[in-house]
Amino acid sequence: MEKHTLIPNREEDGQRLDVFVAARLPDLTRSAVQKLTAQGLLTVAGKPAGKNLRVQEGRPVEITVPDPVELSAEPENIPLDIVYEDKDLLVVNKPKGMVVHPAPGNPDGTLVNALLFHCRDGLSGINGVLRPGIVHRIDKDTSGLLMVAKNDFAHQSLAAQIQIHSFTREYEAVVYGNVKEDEGTVSVPIGRHPVERKRMAVVKGGREAVTHFRVLARYQGFTHLRLRLETGRTHQIRVHMAYLGHPVAGDPVYGPKKVIERLCGQCLHAKVLGFVHPRTGEAMRFESELPGYFTGFLHTLSPL
């Protein structure tokens, strides 16, 4: 267990607590700082810090960082569809149905289990022992491209690109109904549902969330969309499309009660991933073909 005492200077006065601590302690991400705050492990002037606190010049911030939890995820020889790999990172094409990292109810068979086997000890540790190398996530039943960092240097660079919205993430989805606008933007905040805690929702005081969409094709009862994330909130596309009245086809959480069972989850594919390579500075872009479940569903629809 490590303890740190940090004293804000004049230039840092007024910064958000998580921003201040993450800048002073680069091994901690802002999300990690937020979790430690929620656990009561950050104090300011001897009192537990609130999550929205802003630091003041000269007022000490004390943080306790627990020792790493022993790794419980085990390497598993699970085939991976690797689109790109070098010494710093890899891009994986995740299939529908694969969970990204172990969690209650999904202790194994995850992408992390497969990565531990493939990369051995070569994964970043910033996101903890249960999510080594995971820079960003996609849902279990969302298919497509996912970035993985092999070291902390790459992880910090890629996470910073996501933070300043320079990390390109484009999806394709089939949604219910006829989206009338050819293109548009959804910009409403997302937070935890006030009653159903496993769901997200558009809520006042939630985190900023911005999704851009463009119509690719219209069908009877459905619309094929290209979507670009400006932010990356949990379930963002699914929540925003449901908010517009056009939930993602097959979505068992945010869609109609009568689910399209043959889709086995939402018809949503992470198609494009673009970023600047953390070491070389090269602009990189990867694109994934639509999987069979997606194209098969499109073929059952009647064009308008």
Query: Is residue 280 assigned to a domain?
Result: no
For position 73, what pLDDT does the model report? 78
Into how many domains does the chain fold? 3
pTM: 0.77
For position 71, what pLDDT does the model report? 47
Query: Is residue 288 assigned to a domain?
Result: no
183 lies in the same domain as 246? yes
Query: Is residue 285 assigned to a domain?
Result: no
86 lies in the same domain as 146? yes
48 neighbors 42 (Cβ within 8 angstroms): yes
Residue 139 catalytic?
A: yes
Q: Which residue has the higher pLDDT, 286 or 129?
A: 286
For position 88, what pLDDT does the model report? 97
Query: Is residue 277 assigned to a domain?
Result: no
191 lies in the same domain as 253? yes
Q: Where are the beta strands (DSSP E) in the chain?
A: 2-6, 42-44, 47-48, 61-65, 82-85, 89-94, 143-149, 168-176, 183-187, 190-192, 200-202, 210-219, 222-229, 268-276, 283-287
pLDDT digits (tens, 9 = 90+) for 210-256: 999 999 999 999 999 999 999 999 999 999 999 999 999 999 999 99
128 lies in the same domain as 185? no
185 lies in the same domain as 135? no
Q: Is residue 2 pLDDT above 90, yes or no?
A: no
89 lies in the same domain as 117? yes
Task: From residue 88, give the alpha-carbon distance in Å to each of 48, 151, 205, 279, 280.
Answer: 38, 6, 37, 8, 10
Q: Is residue 1 pLDDT above 90, yes or no?
A: no
184 neighbors 213 (Cβ within 8 angstroms): yes
Query: Is residue 282 assigned to a domain?
Result: no
- Give the CATH number for residue 89: 3.30.2350.10
278 neighbors 157 (Cβ within 8 angstroms): yes
Burial label for 125, CB within 10 Å (0-12, 13-18, 19+), is: middle
Q: Which residue has the higher pLDDT, 301 or 19?
A: 301
197 lies in the same domain as 262? yes
- Active-site residue, from 139, 152, 182, 251: 139
Residue 9 C-beta-side C-alpha neighbours within 13 Å: 3
Rounded distance between C-alpha atoms, residue 106 and residue 293, angstroms: 23
**Range of 47's domain?**
2-65
Question: Rounded to 5 degrees, what are φ and ψ at 174?
Answer: -110, 125
15 lies in the same domain as 99? no
The last residue of a domain, from among 99, 129, 164: 164
Query: Is residue 275 assigned to a domain?
Result: no
Mean pLDDT of 135-139: 93
173 lies in the same domain as 194? yes
Q: Name, in order, each residue with C-beta under 8 angstroms of 296's C-beta and a sequence gap of 6 or more.
A: none
- Give the CATH number for residue 36: 3.10.290.10
Mean pLDDT of 251-262: 95
Query: Is residue 213 assigned to a domain?
Result: yes
The last residue of a domain, from among 112, 136, 164: 164
The last residue of a domain, from among 115, 135, 164: 164
For position 51, what pLDDT does the model report? 75
Query: Is residue 20 assigned to a domain?
Result: yes
